[in-house]
Structure 1
Amino acid sequence: MVALTTRDEMKALAEKAGDELEGATALEILGWADEQFGPSWAVASSMADTVLPSLAAKVRPGVDVLFLDTGYHFAETLGTRDAAAATLPVTIRTVLPHQTVAEQDASFGARLYERNPDQCCALRKVMPLRKALKDYGAWASGLRRDEASTRAGVKVVEWDDSRGMVKLNPIAAWTQDDIDRYIVDNGVLVNPLLFDGYGSVGCAPCTRRIAPGEDARAGRWAGSGKIECGIH
């Protein structure tokens, strides 16, 4: 492990690694993180599948996997989380918002996700994750460049300026075919909603099935113009 004490040093480390690890395998990228940070890195997973937790567990068995329980998840998503906790060598940390859904409704009115989805995501995803990540020096996400135009420039290692930490995107260069192949070859758990017409899985009130030929993320916040929750 390298002892880095300043924000500038951490940023320089991330930017250098982003260039040098381009083309590296996902396991090599996660292995680099483990060398740099020891146990002080975590994975964030939405439990659409468990590809990233599976990869991370190969590098560090028992790795912390952060799951944001917004209070609005499909039962299938919670089931995938519980199955991952029972079958993978990882430590699932369920991260809760400051307020329950009922408390948020009392403060902001019911169905905030309809009236102000950005605020709802901030309260139930962005702020809770920020608080949880204070325990770590780096975190890994499952962002892929082929998912959306907003993600096309993602680097395999980046500086997360808003949180002041290193961010890993070890499967950034993977395609959907790569994901499908890894799932089959490794018997990876998949959220059953992905076999029921959903291309991407988020909160139940804000996620719909997609039509044939639609982008995989077309069912997220459909009709609102919103395409990202704000975490990334």
Structure 2
Amino acid sequence: MSTLHPPPDFDTRHSWRLLLETLEAISARHADAVFASSFGAEDMLLTHAIFESGVPIQVFTLDTGRLPAETVAMIDVVKQRYGVAIQVLKPDESAVQAHVAKHGEFGFYESVELRKACCAIRKVQPLRLALKGRSAWLTGQRREQSLTRADLADAEYDNVFGLQKYNPLAAWTDTEVWSMIRAMAIPYNPLHDKGYPSIGCEPCTRALRPGEDLRAGRWWWEQKLSKECGLHAGNLPGS
């Protein structure tokens, strides 16, 4: 969890009101909008905003089968706090087993291609099914998170999945996110307190070292510009 103080010009009440207005506007334009949550800090902030305001945006999560126990536990944390059972989507088990049989349980360490193939089975395909036939989805992405997200738009057409995509926290900083979490007493993944600002599958995520950027702990064995799983493939150079 960030221990930095919020910038002096950050007004939590004003920012909260603007966020709710943004979510309400998205919902008004897209009655079928959904939010894909990975239970990271940004996603918990958006989850809190959606459930506390009652805006009709469905929240779901992708259980890849390789998530840390702390992340899986957040499913029950959300249910207890907000009284809502989040929809949990899982990958096709036969596809997972076939991939593991061919490449091994940790084949993703061998190449970017094998890592992306694993992500495609465990994350991208379930997401594609969840978004099929819908007109919009929301994410917790922010520009500050990594080089691949530096030019992230607040709203964009997602050519990968064929629908509108909204990033309500695109312009928010890390300190602003955590200032809002503290102000609203929003529950968050305890791994954040152990040096994990970005949390994915357990074998593919580590704590940060001093001076590293916010997503350096994801797929740490790869080059910075390859660090997307396919859910946000449009962030990558040349896409």
Band the TM-score falls in, shorter-chain normalisation: 0.7 to 0.9
2:29 counterpart (24, 36, 43) = 36
Question: Distance between the aligned counterparts of 2:30 and 2:63, measured in 1?
Answer: 26
Deviation of 1:209 after TM superposition, in Å, equals 1.0
Aligned to 1:51: 45
User: Larger deviation: 55-64 or 117-126?
Assistant: 55-64
User: Larger deviation: 107-116 or 167-176?
Assistant: 107-116
Structure 1 letter corresponding to 2:153 = K
How far does the alpha carbon of each residue in 1:102-156 deviate from its partner, in whole angstroms, 9 at most, with x for none?
4542354332322311111111111110111115321110010111121121111
1:26 counterpart (5, 19, 25) = 19
How far does the alpha carbon of each residue in 1:70-97 deviate from its partner, in whole angstroms, 9 at most, with x for none?
0000000001122112212544111111
Identity of aligned residues (%): 38
Aligned to 1:120: 118
Q: Is the 8 A contact 2:78 2:85 kept in 1?
A: no
The 1:103–1:189 alpha-carbon spacing in structure 2 relative to 1, beyond 3 Å, is: farther
Correspondences of 1:131-210 after superposition (within 5 Å): 131-210=129-208
1:25 aligns to what SS in structure 2?
A: helix
Question: Distance between the aligned counterparts of 2:52 and 2:21, measured in 1?
Answer: 11
The 1:134–1:89 alpha-carbon spacing in structure 2 relative to 1, beyond 3 Å, is: farther
Aligned pair count reads: 208
1:83 counterpart (65, 73, 77) = 77
2:144 aligns to what SS in structure 1?
A: coil
Question: Distance between the aligned counterparts of 1:170 and 1:104, measured in 2?
Answer: 35
Question: Distance between the aligned counterparts of 1:91 and 1:139, measured in 2?
Answer: 19
How far does the alpha carbon of each residue in 1:29-69 deviate from its partner, in whole angstroms, 9 at most, with x for none?
2111111122x111111112311111222443564212110
Give unmatched runs, 5+ long, in structure 2. Answer: 1-16, 233-239
Give unmatched runs, 5+ long, in structure 1. Answer: 1-23
Aligned to 1:224: 222
Question: Distance between the aligned counterparts of 1:133 and 1:223, measured in 2?
Answer: 30
Q: Is the 8 A contact 2:108 2:115 kept in 1?
A: yes
The 1:60–1:107 alpha-carbon spacing in structure 2 relative to 1, beyond 3 Å, is: farther
TM-score, scaled to structure 2: 0.81
Structure 1 letter corresponding to 2:81 = T
Q: Is the 8 A contact 1:64 1:90 kept in 2?
A: no
Question: Distance between the aligned counterparts of 1:27 and 1:229, measured in 2?
Answer: 29
Question: Distance between the aligned counterparts of 1:164 and 1:89, measured in 2?
Answer: 32
